[in-house]
Structure formats: structure tokens, C-alpha cells
Amino acid sequence: MKRTGRPSRYPAPAVILSITLALGLSLALAWMICVRTLADMLAAESPLDALFWDPAHPVALGNVATTELERAGNDAERRVNARRAADYAGRLVARDPFASGGLSLFGATQDRLGAKPERVAKIMRVAGKNLPIDIVAHGWLYDYAARTANAADMLTELDILLRGRPSLGPKFVPSVLALLAARPEAEAGLVNLLAASPIWRSPFLFYLCTQPGDSDRLLRIFNRLRQTAAPPAMSEVGPLIDRLLAEQKVDQAYLLWVDSLPAERLTKLGLLYNHDFEYPLTGLPFDWRFVAAKGVAITVEGEEKRRKLNVEFQGGRVQFRNVSHLLVLAPGKYALNGVSQTEGLENARGLRWRLYCVASTTVLAETSVVKGTTAPKRFRNEFVVPDAGCELQNLVLEIPSRIASEEQVSGMASYSDLGIESVAP
């Protein structure tokens, strides 16, 4: 008969081994998780401490390399710092060649250490290809193209940089203007780039027009752009018009403005464009300009051919000169016409239209002031534009206040049927 023994109270060796291995793996995994979590927490603020726990932590390596590269000092110290930065950046790239910003950071360290620009350019091109939004890589390539006067590459990099960060436009405008001055043929490339209507076009054109430089070149660029399928919008033309007026190039400014108008409006320019507020206001010179002010509502109301300008003062003090229109009347005799109406307009001085020469501030015409409550009343003021010194005129609706107490105003005034006509001598 076969004997049966009691079952052992202890687990088999194989079971003990399995449990031991599982426990060891769990502890190792827990330790790894703790180490990586701690390194992640320290990587931004204390990257060197993070590297103590994880010597290959990509964020910490990048941060330390950046810090070393940006550290101030004399030439010798900066070179030592660059070597340290290159070591950390090299470790980052070795760990992960596609780490965000790793290659461009390594390229920047090589540039600082005096590597040949061609070698650095190869590194930066690979970095830019791996990460199309790598600002460091594309910024370096832009500067390299500018140094080597490579207009095509410069404009390509400009497009990449500004598509990623349109706010960088002011940083690049001076170098673009320098390129255009040195390489006039680059104008065509810039126009082609702008004709594609990139997202950064409008702010870049604004920055371009506000920088010192050759306004005639800017005018050529706008004229060439107007011949494309994406001509400048009226809002894009405005800064250049203001620039030309500031340089007293009145004829060029006016022609640029006329060229920006829709074709159907060219037959209705008149002496006072948009005199009946038929078209939406553009806010550009040679159109009505309304400037917002606290406690004042400036509106246009009414149906076609019966529109009127309403100015409602809600009480309080205001230095009101907030409705204006630039004119380019030739020397000669004219008349300013219109219809005024007021309702409870309370002000010590009243409201009036004043027309003056911009260059000399010589007053050409002033209407009678209106205040209180008045029925619609037609006014007409004849004036003469002199032969010289008055190429540009400004028509302004104003309260001619002289002291603060005369700025207190409430009530409403309306104007309609405004116009300017030539008068036979």
C-alpha cells in the first residue's frame, strides 16, 4: 500500500522564487517611477538636480545647455560655457535625435564655438526639417541667409518664422528693408510672398510702413502687390498713406488712396468724398474719420440719400474735435454747404465746422456755432484755397473751447446734406 505524507506547510521553492522576482520587479518599477517623477518635477527649476536622478532627462539637459549658453562673461568664459552647453546638448541629441529643440540647441553651441557656418547651417536645416516650428533653427537660418545676401532663403525663412509667430514681425523688418536696399531685385520675391496672403501679411505691412526708410520703395511694393490676385486691402494701405502724408507727399498719398477704392466709387469722388455717408467708413485719410471719446456717441443714421451724422453728448467734459475729413482742394474758390439741427445742445461755446490748411493751420472757413434746440437749418460758407502753402486741408467738427469749463457739453447735433462745391471767381 502507497503511503501518503502530510502536505507541507511551506510553499514550494519555485513559488518562493516567483514571488521574490515579482516583488523585486515591483520595487524596481516603483523606484524607476519615483526617480522619473522627481526628475520631471525638478527639470524646469533645478535641472542639475534633475540630472542627478536621471542623467539623461531630456528637458533637464536642454535647460542646462540653454543656461550655460546664455551665461554672461568675457570671451574666454563664454567659450568655456559654450563647451559645457555643447556637452549637455550632445547628450540630449544622443539620447533622442528628435528631441524638441535639441538639434538646434546643439547647432547654436557649435556656432558659439566657432564651427564653420556651413556645418552649422546643415545642423540647423536638419533641425528645422525635424521640427518645422523650431524658432531657434529657422531664426539662425534667416540670419545666415541675411549675412550671405541669399534673398530667396531669407524670404523662405521669414515666411516660416512669421507663420509660427506673427508677433515677431517688427524684429525682421529692419533686415528686410536692408535686403531691399542692397538687392532691389528682391522686391519681386517679397511681393510674391505677400501675394500668397500669409496670416502675417497685414501686421508686417504695418511694421514695414512705420520703419524709417525709402517710402518710394514701399510705394512700388504696394503698386506691384496691387497687380496680383491679392491686392492690398484698404486697411493695409492706410499706414502707407499716413507715412506719405507725414513726409508731405500729398499727391502720392492721394493717388494711393484713390487706387485702393473699388472701381464703382471712382466716379463719385467729388470734392468731399463720401459726403452723404453712402459708403461704410474706412477710417482712412480722405474719408471721414471718427475718433471715439468717452461720453460721446458718433453715428450715421438714415436711409440711402437721407443719411445724417449724429453726435450725441452724454454730459461731462470733452475736448471735442473728433469728426474730421482730409481734403486736397486745388487753389480756388469754394463753398461748404450743409444742414444742421440741434436738440438740447448745452455748451458755453457751441459746435461748428472749421476748415484749415494742414501745413500752416491757416483757417479757410468757419461755420456759425450751433447750440440749444434748433430746427433744420441750411448753412453755406464760401472760402478760398490759396495758391501756395495749402496743398492739404482738414475739415473738423469741433467745440472751440478755450478753458476746461467750456468743455462741459450735453445734448445732440445732427448734420446732413454736407458738401463742397466750386464757386466761380
More confident of the two residues 334 and 39? 334
**In one letter, which amino acid is 347?**
N
Q: Is it the case that residue 8 has pLDDT exceeding 70?
A: no
- Residue predicted with more confidence, 57 or 322: 322
Higher pLDDT, 368 or 36: 368
98, pLDDT greater than 80: no
* CA atoms of 353 and 356, how far apart (whole Å): 10
Taking only the tens place, the pLDDT of each residue in 219-234 is: 999 999 999 999 999 8
Q: What is the pLDDT of residue 116?
A: 93
The per-residue pLDDT for range 244-298, each reduced to its tens digit, is 999 999 999 999 999 888 888 888 899 999 999 999 898 888 999 999 889 899 9
Give the CA dihedral 412, 417, 418, 422, nearest 10 degrees: -160
90-118 mean pLDDT: 84
What was the pLDDT predicted at 5?
54
pLDDT in tens, 125-167: 998 888 888 899 999 999 999 998 899 999 999 999 999 898 8
Question: Given this model, what pLDDT does residue 204 score?
Answer: 94
At 108-134, the pLDDT tens digits run 888 888 889 999 999 999 988 888 888
For residue 28, pLDDT over 70 is answered with no
Confidence of residue 306 (pLDDT cuts 50, 70, 90): confident
Q: How far is CA 158 from CA 136, 205, 303, in A?
A: 13, 13, 47
Domain boundaries, the chain: 288-422
335, pLDDT greater than 50: yes
pLDDT of residue 16: 65
pLDDT band at 407 (very low <50, low <70, confident <90, very high): confident
Over residues 70-90, the mean pLDDT reads: 80
pLDDT band with cut points at 50, 70 and 90 for residue 87: confident
pLDDT of residue 27: 66
308 vs 361, higher pLDDT: 308
Instruction: Please check whether residue 392 is in contact with residue 329, taking contact to mean a CB–CB distance below 8 angstroms.
Output: no
Q: Which three cell numbers stand for residue 325?
A: 475729413
CATH for 288-422 is 2.60.120.260
Question: What is the mean pLDDT of the segment spanning 100-109?
Answer: 85
pLDDT at 190 over 80: yes
Has residue 30 got a pLDDT over 70?
Answer: no
Which strands make up the sheet holding 352-357, listed edge to edge?
Answer: 288-290, 323-327, 393-398, 352-357, 363-366
Sorted by sequence, the CB contacts under 8 Å of residue 419 that are 6+ apart come out as: 270, 271, 272, 275, 276, 336, 337, 338
- Predicted confidence band of residue 52 (pLDDT cuts 50, 70, 90): low
Q: Is the pTM of this model over 0.85?
A: no
Q: What is the mean pLDDT of the chain?
A: 87
Reply yes or no on whether the pLDDT at 187 is more than 70.
Answer: yes
How much is the pLDDT for 214?
Answer: 87
Q: How far apart are CA 378 and CA 208, in angstroms?
A: 45
pLDDT band at 336 (very low <50, low <70, confident <90, very high): very high
pLDDT band for 1, please (50, 70, 90 cuts).
very low
pLDDT at position 75: 77
- Check whether 2 has a pLDDT greater than 60: no
